[in-house]
Amino acid sequence: MEKLRFSFITYGCKLNYSEYSTIKRNLLNLGYQYVSWYTFANIYIINSCSITENAEKDLFVFIRKIKKINKKAYIILLGCFTHKLYKTENILKNVNLILGTKDKFDLPYYLKLKNKKKNYISISKNYYKSSVSLDETRTRSFLKIQDGCDYKCSYCPIPNFRGRSRSENISNIIKTIKKLALLNIKEIVLTGINLGNFGNFGFNKTKYDLFYLFNQIEQNITANLRIRISSIEPNLLNNRIISLISKSKLFVPHFHFPLQSGSNYILNKMKRRYNVKRYIKNVKKILNIIPDACVGTDIIVGFPGEKEANFLETYKLLKSLELAYIQVFPYSERENTDAYFMKETIPKIMRSKRSKIIRLLSKKKKKNYCFKHLFKHYRVLFEKTKKNGYIFGFTDTYISSKIKWKPNLIKKFKAVKLIKIDNYNNMECQIL
């Protein structure tokens, strides 16, 4: 049936992907037929992101591409950007249905109204909705365990879109992990907007914090899989969590640990809840307990008021730290944030130059990290990716590894020795 053909694309974070996967799965269960976005469909669904200016630009480019494919396309916009975009004049000229971060989970209901209401907007208050990427053909699954944020970082609009911090019930998390294990999922990534703030149930703080959750997972899951955690705030990572991961058979030693700036002056303007000294202490603490741990970070360059001296502070700090990789983002002005009204804005060309400098440093860091692990033995989970005659996978410590293509390795854990580094910082390995 032509009316059942839909295309779906998502932008942004791992949490967005888990929600996209859940919504897509619900539509498939109702009989809708999924087709790729460049194929003719009647319904095109976009799960949006609003954390950067580029994410917004990509969104409008994509909408124009859809209109070229099908002038009569019924376009649906979901997610974070809708909380800002729905106020934009004439937005419904190209978008037929706009659903906020809560209402997008009720998409099947709104699709029933498709022929009754040509254009429709629903931006409601948030509540917690479980979501998980569940595809039996994939090795990895993203499991949302937390949503929203109580922090008010001056550059971030996300709390305005997703509301206050709230968490999934621990028993539901355990059940979902067990279900994924039965479906032969080998890696689960725990995601959230502010993962370290897990334990905020119905806006009430409880003893069931992230460490308690990890402990419960450790005690209740016996399956042959591994668990990776997504980004965690520097002020929320404690000794108990590091110690648990160092001894765990499930949790891998990979810490994505956002710094954002190496200048205390800029961190204060950003309203971050730590300083440089605290950050350095935590990185050293991780590596003292787990010497081979992967520690990665996020950096924002060109924040209002970031003078050359402040940027050099960041560069020197990053250079001194034993990091595996650095993800860098040029600052983007976001409406309804404190930073949006700050003076001393940095020219975009300067933001771009500083981004390139940090990206070059990140390449060196990644190369050094690979050399550190050369000739060592690790466990690799091989995936379906085949490129240039190789099958790829990741070590527990998040090193991209490859070996000559062998289809029997797909979704398998193998003990390997890392023997060579290619020009793209992938490590060739041999099975032990």
Residue 202 confidence (pLDDT) = 46
> Looking at residue 115, what is its pLDDT?
58
- CA–CA gap between residue 326 and residue 356 (Å, rounded): 12
- In this prediction, residue 47 carries a pLDDT of 81
Tokens linked to 395: 């070590």
pLDDT of 276-332, one tens digit each? 999 999 999 999 999 999 999 999 999 999 999 999 999 999 999 999 999 999 999
Cα–Cα separations (whole angstroms), residue 210 to 128, 130, 165? 17, 17, 13
Give every residue of the chain whose pLDDT is below 70, as ranges: 1-3, 12, 50-56, 82-93, 113-128, 135-137, 200-207
Query: What pLDDT sits at residue 1?
Result: 43
185-221 burial: b if 16+ Cβ within 10 Å, else e: bbbbbbbbbbbbbbbbbeeeeeebbbbebbeebbeeb
Please give the Cα distance from 256 to 268 (Å, whole number).
21
**pLDDT given for residue 271 in this prediction:** 96
Q: Give residue 40's pLDDT.
A: 80
- Give the pLDDT score at 135: 67
Residue position matching structure tokens 């560069």? 315
pLDDT for residue 125:
56
Whole-angstrom distance, CA of residue 152 vs CA of residue 115: 41
**Tell me, what's the pLDDT at 354?**
97
Which residue shows structure tokens 């023997």? 419
- Which pLDDT value is given to residue 203? 47
Can you give the C-alpha Rg of the chain in angstroms?
22
DSSP 239-306: HHHHHHHHH-SSB-SEEE---B-S-HHHHHHHT-S--HHHHHHHHHHHHHHSTT-EEEEEEEES-TT-
CA dist 181 and 188 (Å) reads 9
> How far apart, in Å, are the Cα atoms of 399 and each of 78, 224, 377, 402, 404?
34, 20, 12, 10, 17
What does the pLDDT look like over 172-186, one tens digit per residue?
A: 999 999 999 998 999
CB 300 within 8 A of CB 269: no
H helix or E strand, kind and range, residue 380: strand 377-387
pLDDT the model gives residue 178: 94
Handedness of CA 398, 402, 405, 409 (dihedral sign): negative
Tokens of 165: 């911090």
pLDDT of residue 56: 66
Report the alpha-carbon distance of residue 245 to residue 229 in Å, rounded.
10
Burial-class residue 181 by CB neighbours within 10 Å (0-12, 13-18, 19+): middle
Burial string for 293-332 (b: 16+ CB within 10 Å, else e) reads bbbbbebbbbbbebeeebbebbbebbeebebbbbebbbbb
pLDDT at 120: 57
- The token pair that represents 37 in the structure block: 């976005």
Q: What is the dihedral of CA 390, 396, 398, 400, to 10 degrees?
A: -10
- Whole-angstrom distance, CA of residue 36 vs CA of residue 39: 5
Burial class, 124, CB count within 10 angstroms (exposed 0-12 / middle 13-18 / buried 19+): exposed
The tokens of 387 are what? 């490129």
Map residue 72 onto helix, strand or coil.
Answer: coil
Q: What is the pLDDT of residues 227-244, one digit of tens each?
A: 999 999 999 999 999 999
DSSP string across 85-126:
HTTSTTGGGT-SEEE-TTGGGGHHHHHHTTTT-SSEEE----
